[in-house]
Amino acid sequence: MERLVTGVPYFRPNISEEEIALVESSLRSGWLTSGPRVAEFEAAFAAQVGAKYAVALNSCTAALHLALLAHEIAPGDEVIVPTLTFAATAEVVLAVGGVPVLVDCRPDTLAMDFDAVRLAITPRTRAVMPMHYGGSAADMTSAMAIKAENPQIAIIEDAAHAFPASHELGRIGSIGDSTCFSFYANKTMTTGEGGMLTTDDSKICDHVRRLSLHGLSRNAWSRFETSSSWDYDIVEAGWKYNMTDAAASLGLGQLGRAQELAESRRQIALAYDEAFSAVPGVTPRSAGEISANACHLYVVRVDPSICATDRTGLIETLADRDIGTSVHYRPLHMHSYYAKTRGYQPEDYPVAAQQFEQIVSLPIFPGMTDSEVEAVVKNVTDAVTGRG
Ligand SMILES: *Cc1c(COP(=O)(O)O)cnc(C)c1O
């Protein structure tokens, strides 16, 4: 069998020499923790997404956790979360003593199904957490309509996949009450580990900032700025979730290239769309208007009744040819922890359970070459048609 390239990783980091120099100069500046680069990164990020405020944190998980606390989600409160998401979206609800109420996904976009969200609302519902699956916006029109009808419900977005992305209501980061982004190593932009919370509410911003630094009355930045004072007051019990200046320096560099990096992923997605439109049994999820999509994931469904292999077989065949893939995600209700503690059966969320058997995420990252894209397409096509 002819091979076009030897292997394609699922993901390859894209760090420029300029970004390395920014991190180096940050280290030389003497600011090892949160300092001027963090403040600069927050301001630049808020401006890019069209939010009034941004707080840089050490992960998206931290941002989600503090968002729930700042929105006063208390023990026993219900928070509606998609079942087809990463662990973090629901575990932060458990961390504050809340009840994650799972809902199914839509079969076309794989995003949270808002008809299901409406049915899941009870008098105890205090938040809905839309997750922008793959990088295309969840149904924020429905989310904001739900909020308008139920002002006690906060809209806290898990935007770990969705920078830079937009919706007809605006850029992701400017729509819900709080939006949480991830700068984990393989996300659309990275600080190694890192996250950002954006909001238009100054009280939420101040509260998240305070909780991120032990609940102290002032953060380390202002503590060192005002030379006079050694004193601080613990206003409430908090956490230690702040970002370092070195991480923020990398973030500033990545932010400057974010549109370029997104464009590169969009070109790859378009090439895959075109190639797979000619392959029966391989159906990309509907991801909407490409220019609005951060294109974090490229997910196809493999229909085993049409293809010569199923999803799992395809992953194995591709692995044999050194082509990396992933699956986003095993639905939460099909994990042993949730099944054990909540008694879930796979068929409780039938769309997610059925889609889970068929989904595979293909390599998509800036800097992926045309021949790498061709190699993925050829190997997928060969495997599903039984030629490979
Ligand atoms: C990556 C991811 C997170 C967590 O991000 P961290 O920055 O690693 O905490 C949360 N939600 C989703 C959907 C993710 O993909």
For 202-217, the pLDDT digits (tens) are 999 999 999 999 999 8
- 30 CA from centroid of ligand 1 (Å): 30
Q: Any idea what the CATH number is for the domain that residue 303 is in?
A: 3.90.1150.10
pLDDT digits (tens, 9 = 90+) for 106-144: 999 999 999 999 999 999 999 999 999 999 999 999 999
**Which of residues 191, 226, 256 is at a domain's end?**
256
pLDDT digits 0-9 by tens, 2-55: 555 779 999 999 999 999 999 999 999 999 999 999 999 999 999 999 999 999
Grade residue 387 by pLDDT with cuts at 50, 70 and 90: confident
Are 264 and 251 in the same domain?
A: no
Could you tell me the pTM of the whole model? Answer: 0.96
Show the ligand 1 pocket: residues with CB < 6 angstroms. 59-61, 85-86, 88-89, 131, 158, 160-161, 182, 184, 195
The model's confidence at residue 230, banded by pLDDT at 50, 70 and 90, is confident
At position 385, the amino acid (one-letter code) is T
**3-class SS at 123?**
coil
Residue 30 maps to a domain? yes
- What's the whole-number mean pLDDT along residues 274-302? 97
- Specify whether 271 is located in the same domain as 299: yes
Is residue 25 a part of any domain in this protein? yes
For 19, phi then psi, to 5°, come to -65, -40
* 314 and 342 belong to one structural domain: yes
| 183 CA → ligand 1 middle, Å | 8
* Domain co-membership, 228 together with 349: no
Distance CA(74)–CA(68), nearest Å, equals 9
CB 195 within 8 A of CB 212: no
In a shared domain, residues 147 and 206: yes
Which tens digit of pLDDT belongs to each residue from 328-371? 999 999 999 999 999 999 999 999 999 999 999 999 999 999 99
From the candidates 187, 203, 240, 340, which is the catalytic residue? 187
Q: At what angle do helices 60-70 and 87-95 cross, to 10 degrees?
A: 40
Residues 225 and 343 in one domain: no
For the chain, the domain total comes to 2
DSSP state of 56: E
Question: What pLDDT shows up at residue 294?
Answer: 98
At 258, the pLDDT band (50, 70, 90 cuts) reads very high
* 26 touches 37 (CB < 8 A): yes
**Do both 149 and 118 map to the same domain?**
yes
In the chain, what percentage of residues exceed pLDDT 90? 94
Residue 43's CB: how many other CB atoms inside 10 A?
12
* Domain identity same for 289 and 209: no
- Residue reference for tokens 């305070």: 210
Tell which atom from ligand 1 comes closest to the C-alpha of 64: 10
Q: By residue range, what is the domain housing residue 66?
A: 17-256
* pLDDT score of 225: 58
Residue closest by Cα to atom 14 of ligand 1 = 160
CATH number of the domain encompassing residue 217: 3.40.640.10
Domain boundary among the residues 238, 256, 274 is at 256
Does any domain span residue 155? yes
C-alpha of residue 228 to centroid of ligand 1, in Å:
39
Q: How confident is the model at residue 82 (pLDDT cuts 50, 70, 90)?
A: very high
Domain assignment present for residue 4? The answer is no
Same domain, yes or no, for 156 and 25?
A: yes
Cis amide bond preceding 123, omega within 30: no
pLDDT at 1 over 50: no
| Residues 68 and 110 both lie in one domain | yes
| Cα-based angle 187, 264, 280 (whole degrees, multiple of 5) | 90
Same domain, 188 and 293: no
Residue 2 lies in a domain: no
pLDDT at 226: 55
Please determine, for residue 299, whether its predicted confidence score (pLDDT) is greater than 50: yes
Backbone angles phi, psi at 106, to 5 degrees: -85, 145
The reported pLDDT for the residue numbered 152 is 98
pLDDT value at residue 6: 77
Q: What is the pLDDT of residues 134-170, one digit of tens each?
A: 999 999 999 999 999 999 999 999 999 999 999 999 9
Active site annotation includes 147 = no
Tell whether 6 is covered by a domain.
Answer: no
How many whole angstroms from 86 Cα to the centroid of ligand 1?
7
Q: Count other C-beta atoms under 10 Å from residue 245's C-beta.
A: 24
Position 388 confidence tier, pLDDT thresholds 50, 70, 90: low
Residue 287 token pair: 């991801």
Answer whether residue 7 is part of any domain: no
Mean pLDDT of the chain: 95
Last residue of a domain, which of 205, 234, 256?
Answer: 256
Nearest residue (by CA) to ligand 1, atom 1, is 160
Q: What is the mean pLDDT of residues 86-108?
A: 98
Atom index in ligand 1 nearest the CA of residue 195 equals 7
Q: Same domain for 213 and 280?
A: no
